[in-house]
A = this chain, B = another copy of it.
Amino acid sequence: MAHVLIVDDERDLAELIDFNLRGAGFSTRLAFTGEAALAAAREQSPDVVLLDLMLPDLSGIEVCRHLRANSQLRDVLIVMLTAKSEEGDRIRGFEVGADDYVVKPFSVRELVLRLKAILRRSAAPKDSTPPLALGPLRLDVTAHRFYVDGQETSLTALEFRLMEHLMARLGRVQTREQLLEEVWGLSSALETRTIDTHVMRLRDKLGSARALLETVRGVGYRIVDPAAG
């Protein structure tokens, strides 16, 4: 998933965040000072920088400015962490340099949600996508509708994502791990049988087209092209 640079001089907090972000499937890197943060960012461009406002050497504001001044790093996403007590209005105005900010104290859950939201936004604001058509199947992402033999078939949000993922990778086997990561958005521990159950539910809804969703024993699942024999 995405790479996050966590910058906070409170090691306990930084490590807590680190632990949880890894659990949520992010790759992470830690920095405890502003200098270290800049060095780390230059070395390995992160997708997001989680930046505490209060640092021992440079302030978060300084770090922010340096990042924005670097043409390599200008477009990195910056999420500011600010304590509620840092109400100094003058200082807080600078947070506009950030793409989002989270006020301490925050729940880890909220932080993860915000990160995912901000990444999703920057990813692809595609307002409309052409429908994926495949033999008797048609999946319209824009309208969020799915048809089998021209007949609309209702899928739950999760089933829809699973079907979209598989159809977009026609013919390629997807392992359970891949599906978990990319459809469920977790690298975390789900029982692997969860996927089997959902595949079964999808097959039920596919009806006569159920043969298009094949099991590859010991590997994973794939959608086959009905046109290819």
Q: Does A197 contact B (CB under 8 A)?
A: no
CB-CB under 8 A from A111, the residues of chain B are 96
- Measured CA separation A158–B128 after assembly (Å): 25
Nearest chain B CB to A227 CB, angstrom units: 14
**Which residues from B are CB-within-8-Å of A156?**
217-218
Note all chain B residues with C-beta closer than 8 A to A114.
189
A142-B172, A142-B173 known; A89-B85 Cβ under 8 A: yes
With A83-B90, A143-B222 as contacts: A109 and B104 at CB distance below 8 Å: no
With A13-B93, A16-B68, A105-B95 already in contact, the answer to whether A85 and B87 are too (CB < 8 A) is yes
Taken together as a complex, chains A and B put the C-alpha atoms of A108 and B160 apart, in Å, by 33
Contact flag A101-B105 (CB < 8 Å), given A117-B189, A143-B172 = yes
Report chain B residues within 8 Å CB of A93.
10, 13, 81, 83, 104-105
Q: Would you call A99 an interface residue if the criterion is a C-beta within 8 Å of the partner chain's C-beta atoms?
A: yes
Q: Which residues of B contact A80 (CB under 8 A)?
A: 105
Chain A residues with a Cβ under 8 A of chain B: 10, 12-13, 16-17, 19-20, 65, 68, 80-87, 89-90, 92-101, 104-109, 111, 113-114, 117-118, 121, 127-128, 142-144, 156-158, 160, 171-173, 177, 187, 189, 191, 216-219, 222
